[in-house]
Amino acid sequence: MRGQADLKAAGQRRTLTRADGATLAVVYIAVLVLIPARLVFSGLPLDVRPSLLLGFGLGLIWLCAHMVDGLGMAKGRNAVRTAIFVFAASQIATYGWATYQHMPYDELKSADLSFVTIVALMASGLLIVDGVRTLDRLDRVLQFVVIACAIMATIGMLQFFTGFDLTRYMVVPGLREVGTGEAVLQRSIFRRPSGTAGHPIEFGVVCSFAVPLAAHYAFRAKLRKQPSRRWWFCLTVLAMGGVVSLSRSAILGMLVAAIVLLPTWPAKQVMQTLVAMLGFLVVLRAFVPGLVGTLLSLFSNISNDPSIQGRTDDYASTSATIAKHFWLGRGFGTYLPTRFGPIDNQYLGSLVENGVIGMLAFLFLFLAGMYAAASARSLSAEPYVRDLAQTMLACITMLGVSSATYDTFAFKIASGLMFILLGCSGALLRMQRAAAALPPVWRRGLPWPRE
């Protein structure tokens, strides 16, 4: 009897420690966010980041696991998975059409790299949609997103306050640097940090994207019987990261998230949040003189800002290209910033490079993610699940709006986290549909927190 009990305990330990889709997703997030964006593999003709290679590995695992029934990969339809498939079809069509014709070598090289990059990003989303099967495992993935982004924000705080760039010492054997290597830029009298990201805009968007998730886990920590201090710390650091990036996209994203979230929160929580936001601004004004004024000038002086003028000039300069390649675009990644100038609007960029079909497929990604999060919320009566779903809805809406103010796919960390979040929304919808199909007496036994 004792031997059987030992074997049973050993089997339970193996079950608890076995790697699953959430484990692989956490490893991918760590590589994506914590390895500086400017580091790529040495000795390769393309600038391949470690996260890209790992994303291909996740796609291979997803494909092989779907060929059998015993590896825990979910089957059946899912709105997010369908949206990713539609987006993948549009990318394949654009790549085939663009490479069928002659194009300069530098455009062809960029098209190849852009295609393999987008395939790796889609693979990470598919693995999470089908490979994360329980709410606890989904929480692990999202919590690690918050922690990884908070580490990036902390590195950015060092850059902002001291000018010390820790990423200079984050050297990985076998990797080399690409680009200028400058992680700290300047706006007005302030440093603009990048953390491990490729640009201060990406840094700000990533920090702002993680703020609603950090707020969810900070407010709901007691429900999960977890300490809340670390989540409040993450929330503070991430909010500061979004602010000191001096990026309109980051500020706009946090405002959009607040508009989506605040109406669904209890009145007490809303008041606490508003008081905290006011106190946060007062502290910033006292300890970083001029920062709040600089933030306000980003919007009050918007008509005289050269960067805004450049954005509006994009519409005139791309109209001829759009008319010539209306349906499938001129090729993803072929509108080179060094030759044609940057496009600080992903919807416009998708219209130029992927045509009307590709742009609609890109928009469909956000709509499917928002639908999945909203549907998961409507299917659940659990306050924790409903708040998580609303938080994910806010994050997806925020990324969708921010994509009109910066070129999403030019930034690998931001675009990678976008597919991570889309995958999480699809996984949550799958869980809630499975729970809704259970008899009520069984549903009450699920290990979900209750208020």
CA–CA separation, 172 vs 334, rounded Å?
30
Domain that holds residue 284: 20-431
CA dihedral (105, 107, 110, 114) in degrees, to 10, reads: -130
CA–CA separation, 204 vs 154, rounded Å?
12
Within-domain flag for 442: no
Structure tokens, 49: 């980041």
Total number of domains constituting the chain: 1
Phi-psi category of 184—alpha, beta or left, where left has phi over 0 and alpha has psi -120 to 50?
A: beta
Q: Round the CA-based radius of gyration of the chain to a whole number and report it.
A: 22
Within-domain flag for 261: yes
Residues 6+ apart with CB under 8 A from 60: none
Question: At what angle are helices 383-402 and 412-436 packed, to 10 degrees?
Answer: 150
Residues 6+ apart with CB under 8 A from 450: 223, 382, 383, 384
Other CB atoms within 10 A of residue 402 CB: 27
Question: At what angle are helices 412-436 and 346-379 packed, to 10 degrees?
Answer: 20
What's the DSSP call for residue 166? G
Instruction: Output the pLDDT for position 182.
Output: 61
Element (H, E) at 192: strand 190-193
What's the DSSP call for residue 406? S
CA–CA separation, 395 vs 327, rounded Å?
30
What's the DSSP call for residue 148? H
CA dihedral (207, 209, 214, 217) in degrees, to 10, reads: -160
Instruction: Output the pLDDT for position 307.
Output: 59
Instruction: Concatenate the DSSP letters of all residues of 14-59 into one string.
Output: HHHH---HHHHHHHHHHHHHHS-TTEEETT-SS---HHHHHHHHHH
End-to-end CA distance of the chain: 41
Residues 6+ apart with CB under 8 A from 69: none
Within-domain flag for 420: yes
Structure tokens, 211: 């703020």
Q: What is the pLDDT of residues 273-305, one digit of tens each?
A: 999 999 998 888 887 887 877 777 777 676 666
Among candidate residues 213, 127, 131, 178, the one with its CA nearest the CA of residue 416: 127
Within-domain flag for 184: yes
Under a CB-based contact definition with an 8 Å cutoff, are residues 33 and 196 in contact? Answer: yes
Instruction: Output the pLDDT for position 428.
Output: 97
Within-domain flag for 160: yes
Instruction: Output the pLDDT for position 222.
Output: 72
Within-domain flag for 440: no
Among candidate residues 204, 206, 155, 203, the one with its CA nearest the CA of residue 417: 206
Under a CB-based contact definition with an 8 Å cutoff, are residues 82 and 73 in contact? Answer: no
CA dihedral (298, 303, 308, 314) in degrees, to 10, reads: 170
Instruction: Output the pLDDT for position 451.
Output: 39
Q: What is the pLDDT of residues 347-387, one digit of tens each?
A: 999 999 999 999 999 999 999 999 999 999 999 999 999 99
Q: Which residues of the chain have pLDDT under 50?
A: 1-16, 445, 449-451
Within-domain flag for 119: yes
What Cα–Cα distance (Å) separates residue 78 from each residue in 48, 84, 300, 342, 376? 30, 10, 43, 35, 12
Within-domain flag for 125: yes
Q: How many helices (H) and strands (E) does the chain have?
A: 17, 4
